[in-house]
Amino acid sequence: MSNQRSPNCPQISFIEAVEKGREVYKKEHTRSAAKEVVAVDLGYKGISGASLSTIGALRQYGILEGSKDSMRITDDAVAYFELEDGPPRQEATLRMAFKPSLFEEMRTEFGTSGSDANMKHWLIKKGFLQKAASDVIRVYRENITLAARTT
């Protein structure tokens, strides 16, 4: 029996990811750090499946950039952490929340009003397992709610 996996997509919402990214920012600011250091900054003992998943989500959202020995907080994340509410921070927030290509594709396809059943069918056709499709929809809905509050 083959081991099935869904396509790559963040399994945490943007708000969860950006708060995890804040931990890296507090410790490293905008300096480059090795992936192992970033994992420890995030509260892990080192590189593991869980730490790699979290780091991957932060990279997909555009909170972290780079790889291996040269990861750093992005300019958009710095804007989110440092700027007062206003257009520049809002624009950075929206860029990051929909940076994962799947979420941008879903926003184009469904906007804010697609039904869960329709989105799930669409995701399954793209190769997602049922449970993963439900998780993606939950995260997407959280990001849409954030976007509505941001604009």
Helix (H, G, I), strand (E, B) or coil at 72: strand
Q: CA-CA distances (angstroms) from residue 39 to 8, 35, 148?
A: 19, 6, 31
Q: What is the pLDDT at residue 151?
A: 66
Distance CA(68)–CA(74), nearest Å, equals 16
Q: What is the pTM of this model?
A: 0.89
Query: To which residue do tokens 């990861």 refer?
Result: 71
Going from N- to C-terminal start, the domains of the chain cover 14-150
Distance CA(76)–CA(93), nearest Å, equals 7
Query: To which residue do tokens 């927030």 refer?
Result: 93
Question: Residue 47: how many CA atoms within 13 Å on its side-chain side?
Answer: 7
Q: What is the pLDDT at residue 3?
A: 57
Question: pLDDT grade, residue 140 (50/70/90)?
Answer: very high
Average pLDDT of the residues in 108-117: 91
